[in-house]
Amino acid sequence: MIFIFSLLLTSTIVQSQTAEDVLRFSRINYSGTARFNALSGAFGAVGADFSTLATNPAGLGLYSVSEMTLTIAPTIGSTHTNYNGSEASENRVNFGLGNFGFVFSIKPSKNSSILKSINIGFGFNRQNDFNNQMLISGVNKENSLMQNYTNILNEGKIPPSTVTDTYPFDIGLAYGTNLVFYNTNNEYECDAKYGGVLQTKQVNSYGSVNELDFSVGTNLNNTLFLGLTLGIPMVSYYENSIYQESRTNDTLKNFISLKYRYNLQTRGTGFNVKFGMIYKPVQWFRVGAAIHSPTWYPGMQDEWFSSMQSSFDTLAWNASMDSPIGYYDYQMRTPFRAIGSLAFIIGKYGLLSADYEYVNYSQGRLTSSDDSFSEVNSEIENNFQSFGNIRIGTEWGISSFRIRGGFAYFSNPFNEGINNGEKFQVSGGLGYRSKSFFADVTYVWSRMNQDYYLYDATMVNPSHNTYYSNTVLTTIGFRF
């Protein structure tokens, strides 16, 4: 079965949620502080950075002083597409916050020989940035979106009187604007069933996942560090897309063009629990481990609407039609995660660290009161896989200054032969540290490949997309 990674949905159900939504909100790209990102997030056994509240909260136990930190993270994202040999590129600049938070270090009485400190941290860390812009454009000489619609109607033997009610957000609009019609042979038909159309789609997405983290960490005899985080992620996702088809020559009968607009807004608040530990048997070596529970979103809400416009040589056929506004409440669960970490501390000069993160994306689920997600959950289970993310980082210091670098590899979340979603990340940065103040600057570059289908993947070739991200993070912090 080919998994159709498309945003032009043609399902019989009225809700807009797909397996893609679960993957989108399950793939975490930790942002946080500039120092954390300079090492590509390989901080699971290093600790003493605010970002570790969201990865391995045991890192909170390595704080010896209180701290406030703030990170700004402007990003330039670009998408390069190749559809049927035609290439296009789009860019977007977005200003965002990587993190903001406080850590308070509490020293117990000197009579305690084992408990060296209890540290409390709270604030937020960004986990995902959805700001992106994409343009796909190319000529299809074989079929059209309209032919996809007629296939669905003919195979389903949908009576003309029920088309609009059955497919109010896509096919019903095409039927109402004369792009799909019922002929004298009692079959559905369209003008461009053999292609000959220029197909263009522009997608603008906005939003993020920001997580509020409430954490506590302890230092036991400067050897064992434990931490616990209650995470409250907040999802905000917006998508506006415009899909267009226009004839490339005059051989097509009557049809000139169509324009299909689709708008989606998704919001939700969830919760999870993270537990971590760091063990330091000797000064130069640390090992860390963390477990993240699944994230439960008990109140996800979608709102969406669409519209269709048609243009024909016969002016009387020209029409436009708007869908109703769709609302749907549902629940979502994203997968469990586990992280293993190593760090080598080279005196006061530097460190080397590595993280391995395990996550099984086939464990994501959607649920609702009317139990309407069985097909979507089957797609999730059959098309996604378990895999590992690898993060490696290093830091070296001269006096009060630091130089850092990192690399991360996020492996393909799809089963073999379905799609390719590998992501690579390279980072580097500089820092300054004094007793009461620190400042860090980091540059992060990433690339991800992924095929995108405009509609039914058995009919249309994929657009081969490459997504690039360029982020500059600046962190300032105060110790007290």
- Dump pLDDT digits (tens) for 34-57: 999 999 999 999 999 999 999 999
Question: 356-393 as b/e, with b when 16 or more CB fall inside 10 Å?
Answer: bbebbbbbbbbbeeeebbeebbebbeebbeebebebbb
Whether the CB-CB separation of 310 and 319 falls below 8 Å is answered with: yes
Residue with tokens 């931490």: 227
**pLDDT for the residue numbered 17:** 76
- Dump pLDDT digits (tens) for 450-478: 999 999 989 999 999 999 999 999 999 99
Confidence of residue 147 (pLDDT cuts 50, 70, 90): very high
pLDDT over threshold 70, residue 1:
no
pLDDT over threshold 80, residue 187:
yes
The residues pairing with 183 across neighbouring beta strands, listed in sequence order, are none
pLDDT over threshold 70, residue 18:
yes
Distance between CA atoms of residues 103 and 48, nearest Å: 10
Query: Average pLDDT over the chain, rounded to whole?
Result: 92
Structure tokens at 205: 């997405």
Whether the CB-CB separation of 205 and 131 falls below 8 Å is answered with: yes
Domains of the chain: 19-479 (2.40.160.60)
Structure tokens at 81: 């597409």
Whether the CB-CB separation of 198 and 248 falls below 8 Å is answered with: yes
Question: 423-433 as b/e, with b when 16 or more CB fall inside 10 Å?
Answer: bebebbbebeb
Distance between CA atoms of residues 262 and 275, nearest Å: 41
